[in-house]
Amino acid sequence: MTRRYGSELLAAIHETMESVHAIGAIDCQTLRDFDDACLTPVRVLTPDEIRAIRLKERISQPVFARYLNVSSHLISDWERGVRTPGGAALRLLTVVRDKGLQAIA
């Protein structure tokens, strides 16, 4: 899987730290800390952004829900701002926004 970094500099630093880990100079926890610091964070999506993602793909709420493995009521709640997606759902929404629905189909 390809990692996305916040910048080219962070990608270079992370690659260096992987090499340092490979020779045993740092432990796994330190490398995980660098992973957390270097990988692109997922920002919270607004209800309008979530609706725009779905409409761009030209699918209904129930169909979108099946792709994301959530209920259609949850999609409706996200789009109305009643609830906000988090965790894996937020990451999946970001992938669909950036790469299209075919990326998770």
For residue range 55-77, list pLDDT tens digits in order.
999 999 999 999 999 999 999 99
State which amino acid sits at residue 29.
Q
Pick from 94, 43, 93: nearest CA to 68: 93
Query: Greater confidence, 38 or 95?
Result: 95
d(CA 105, CA 102): 5
pLDDT at 47: 98
pTM of the model: 0.68
Q: Which residue has the tokens 């906000």?
A: 84
Question: What would you report as the CA-atom Rg of the chain, rounded to the nearest whole angstrom?
Answer: 17
| Neighbour tally for 46: CB within 10 Å | 13
Reading the block at residue 43, the tokens are: 């920002």
Would you say residue 21 has pLDDT above 80? yes
CB 12 within 8 A of CB 45: no
Would you say residue 17 has pLDDT above 80? yes
pLDDT at 48: 98
Quick one: pLDDT band at residue 6, thresholds 50, 70, 90?
Answer: low
Reading the block at residue 4, the tokens are: 């996305």
pLDDT at 70: 96
Most confident region among 10-14, 26-30, 66-70 by mean pLDDT:
66-70
Q: Which domains does the chain have, with CATH numbers?
A: 8-38 (no CATH), 47-103 (1.10.260.40)
Q: Furthest-apart CA pair in the chain: how many Å? A: 52
Q: What is the mean pLDDT of the chain?
A: 88
